[in-house]
A = this chain, B = another copy of it.
Amino acid sequence: MKDVWKKFDETEPSHSSIHHLMAVYHLHQKNGYARGIDIANYLNITRGSVSITLTKLRDKNYLTEDENKFYHLTEQGQQLVSSALNKRHIVKRFFSEVLQLPAEVAELDACKIEHLLSNETGEKLICFMGYYLSEKPEVLNFRLGFQQFKYKCQSVAECRLCESDCFFSGKEISKTG
């Protein structure tokens, strides 16, 4: 695959745009409406910047503007927001409930990657979490075993999980430490 690494910031729409859309969603939930100034305050950027970005998003049919300058997500915009929000949510749960990461790390990491993950990955992760959180006996045993488990990274040569130059080498890693 050519130029995989460039795909990173070629998401359409961009990370920034998605957060503008999520702001609209959030403000509607909270206040029942979303104006430019509200979005600007929420995202902590200027009104001018918001005006420019939202005009583009309007032209691309992610949202509409009514007579009162209130913004509304279109079907298309809402779908993007839902998709990102759901991925963030499930990733965060995986990070905190399976990997046992502190809430802030889980939140931050989930937010950073939410819109980069494919929907396919999101779906599979939901499936996994559905299983992991079930009360099936084999799952309970698995969780119990994991509680006890400590992964001791062997010498660089023997480490099965890292690439060469394993930077965790020598560290003992457990769920909690």
Contacts and interface: CB of A to CB of B under 8 A. Distances in A.
29 contacts: A1-B107, A3-B44, A4-B108, A5-B43, A8-B111, A9-B15, A79-B167, A82-B165, A82-B167, A86-B168, A89-B162, A99-B121, A99-B128, A105-B120, A109-B117, A112-B113, A123-B173, A127-B149, A127-B150, A127-B175, A128-B146, A130-B151, A131-B146, A133-B161, A134-B149, A136-B145, A138-B141, A138-B145, A139-B142
Interface in A100-118: 100-101, 104-105, 107-109, 111-113, 116-118
| Copies of the protein in its oligomer | 2
Interface stretch (A32-40, A49-57, A90-98): A90-98
A125 interface: yes
Contact of A15 (B8, B117, B127): B8
Q: What's the interface size class on A, roughly?
A: 35 or more
